[in-house]
Chain A
């Protein structure tokens, strides 16, 4: 059974870089036609997709965050990572990693649906 697990510091200082990793188990991150993505959720608020990547390295970024984001994949370690620089209090959120897409979505260039999720990690920002 596919499982995803987020890891990283739970606290980042204002203006510094948030770095998170999602480790995939029970399946290969090189699975054909699936995307690996990040979604965040400020406490008590809604869901916001922020970035995704395919195992061969094609990234997709939220237009509103693109200038601060970087997503990468490490197939040898079966994990993918997110970096968000210049963080502020507006970046305080639960960050979830997820698998999405599939054959139909990938062939059509569509993002697909988020079928499997990690448990999430709360990241706070402080001065």
Chain B
């Protein structure tokens, strides 16, 4: 089973600041990685797939990068609605697994 490790666990920032979240895989997963956003009381929403492609309707301030074992989700300028928990997930093989999550909260 591939283990995904996210850092930091919590990120405290102000609106307008840049957020950078990391996801490290226990073995190479090429670009087989997605990012999700989850707000309180809601299901996760797909943001980024194949490491760097934005899902339908996702604003351009969200971007993803990385290959192999190291990946990054960047939010270029935080909007009030971006304060949430973010998860990475791999699709390299079965079982698909998720990272532990990163909470982006308001400083």
Binding site for B on A (CB under 8 A): 46-49, 60, 62-63, 96, 98, 100, 105, 110-115, 117-120
* A-B CB proximity, top 7 nearest: A117-B43, A111-B96, A47-B98, A113-B34, A46-B101, A113-B49, A46-B100
- Are A47 and B95 touching (Cβ within 8 A)? no
Counting contact residues on chain B (CB < 8 A from A), the size range is 20 to 34
- Which chain A residue has the least Cβ–Cβ distance from B98? A47
- Are A115 and B96 touching (Cβ within 8 A)? no
- Are B98 and A46 touching (Cβ within 8 A)? yes
> Complex: how many Å from CA A63 to CA B93?
13
- Are A115 and B97 touching (Cβ within 8 A)? no
> Complex: how many Å from CA A10 to CA B91?
30
- Inside 8 A of A113's CB, which chain B residues have their CB? 34, 46, 49, 89, 91
- Inside 8 A of B42's CB, which chain A residues have their CB? 119
Known contacts being A46-B100, A47-B44, A115-B46, is A110 close to B91, with CB within 8 Å? Answer: yes
> Complex: how many Å from CA A96 to CA B92?
21
- Which chain B residue has the least Cβ–Cβ distance from A62? B95
- Are A111 and B95 touching (Cβ within 8 A)? yes
Known contacts being A114-B44, A119-B43, is A63 close to B101, with CB within 8 Å? Answer: no
Known contacts being A47-B98, A114-B46, is A63 close to B91, with CB within 8 Å? Answer: no
> Complex: how many Å from CA A62 to CA B97?
10
Which among B34, B36, B49, B95 has the greatest number of chain A C-beta atoms within 10 A?
B95
Q: Mark B26-37, 1 if CB is under 8 A from A, else 0.
A: 000000101010
> Complex: how many Å from CA A29 to CA B22?
35
Which among A46, A98, A113, A118 has the greatest number of chain B C-beta atoms within 10 A?
A113
- Inside 8 A of B94's CB, which chain A residues have their CB? 60, 111
- Inside 8 A of B81's CB, which chain A residues have their CB? none
Tell me which of B32, B36, B97 contacts A110 (CB under 8 A).
Answer: B32
- Inside 8 A of B92's CB, which chain A residues have their CB? 110
